[in-house]
Amino acid sequence: MTENTDLNVSQNNVVKDSVVENDTVDNDSAIEAFFSPDNSKLAVEGFKTGYVAIVGRPNVGKSTLMNHLLGQKLSITSRKPQTTRHRIHGILSNDEMQAVFVDTPGIHRNEVRAINERMNKAAVSALVDVDLVLFVVDSDQWRDDDLLVLQKLGDTNLNVVLVINKADTLKDKGSVLPLMETFNDSFDFADIVPVSALKNQNLDRLQEVIASHLPVAAPIYDTEQITDRSERFLASEIIREKIMRSAGDEVPYDLTVQIDGFKDEAAHTDPKTGRPRKACTFIDATIYVERSGQKAIVIGDKGQRIKQVGMDARKDMEQLFDKKIMLTLWVKVKRGWSDDERALTSLGY
């Protein structure tokens, strides 16, 4: 009730001040202006805004690149290929541009299950209505799946920047030049930029290149916003990452996470103890696997693995959401979910 009262007072003040200046004030315009985000500091001449798709084969460093461009861990990463399953939007705003990055699942040939088909569709559909594409490749590897991605890009009229990642791993730094020439001969790239996403090398140059290819336009999102994904979605991805990192090669690829409960509790005094309690968000999540043996792997010996996963996930959530988190995890078997169209839809794929 207090919030509504304050809001009404603020609205009245806006209208009242406007009436003093102009008796013919448009009330709807005044209210709309009140609720609009204040992007005035970015409303500079020549400001650039656009959508930037990050594409490439699995496990080439797309998520790591987006996270380091944002300066914020948003998309999950691991050694395992096809870690990213959904399109993730990350928003980078500075004084010159607002780039909305679209981190995509890796495009791959082996669509052996329904989930693989949906991941490929999610990656390819990201190329619709974007202003620029970052095509990410390894500095020392060129594989068939790279060619597959290039073929998909050849079907579009988009500007494509080739990002040669992991350039720091090259023993002979001079070898990157003939590599750049080889790539350039295979496709008409708008630019070619070697980087090391993990070590933040040459990312400033990449940002300059991105800005040069975006259209002049006002920012789409508020300048403080870093993603359009919900906290529920980000929580599920953090949990999935911690399982994949904790178990290494033991972890089954056939797992997913569903958020069952996400409840914010305001700071209050405990009626039973009389002690003050801090504001907290209670999250209940279920980890689904396909077989009983996989369930045992995720839980670990005497429950130690799932306990550690919960601790690590809660720590990341508290840092990302900037609030106290209470996390409860369950592990259940849902046979054949990764090849069941209805199950995939219900789980958000």
Inform me whether the pLDDT recorded for 139 exceeds 60: yes
Verdict on whether the full-model pTM lies above 0.95: no
Inform me whether the pLDDT recorded for 50 exceeds 90: yes
The mean pLDDT value for 127-156 works out to 81
User: pLDDT band at 181, cuts 50/70/90?
Assistant: confident
User: pLDDT band at 126, cuts 50/70/90?
Assistant: low
The mean pLDDT value for 322-348 works out to 75
In this prediction, residue 149 carries a pLDDT of 81
Highest mean pLDDT among 81-90, 117-126, 198-207: 198-207
pLDDT tens, position by position, 213-246: 999 999 989 888 888 888 898 899 899 888 888 8
Inform me whether the pLDDT recorded for 11 exceeds 60: no
Q: Among the listed ranges 150-154, 203-207, 282-286, which one has the minimum average pLDDT value? A: 150-154
Inform me whether the pLDDT recorded for 263 exceeds 90: yes
Three-state DSSP string of the chain? CHHHHHHHHHHHHHHHHHHHHCCCCCHHHHHHHHHCCCCHHHCCCCCEEEEEEEECCCCCCHHHHHHHHHCCCCCCCCCCCCCCCCCEEEEEECCCEEEEEEECCCCCCCCCCHHHHHHHHHHHHCCCCCCEEEEEEECCCCCHHHHHHHHHHHCCCCCEEEEEECHHHCCCHHHHHHHHHHHHHHCCCCEEEECECCCCECHHHHHHHHHHHCCECCCCCCCCCCECCCHHHHHHHHHHHHHHHHHHHHCCCCCEEEEEEEEEECCEECCCCCCEECCEEEEEEEEEECCHHHHHHHHCHHHHHHHHHHHHHHHHHHHHHCCEEEEEEEEEECCCHHHCHHHHHHCCC
pLDDT tens, position by position, 62-87: 888 998 999 888 775 555 444 444 56
What percent of the chain shows pLDDT beyond 90? 28
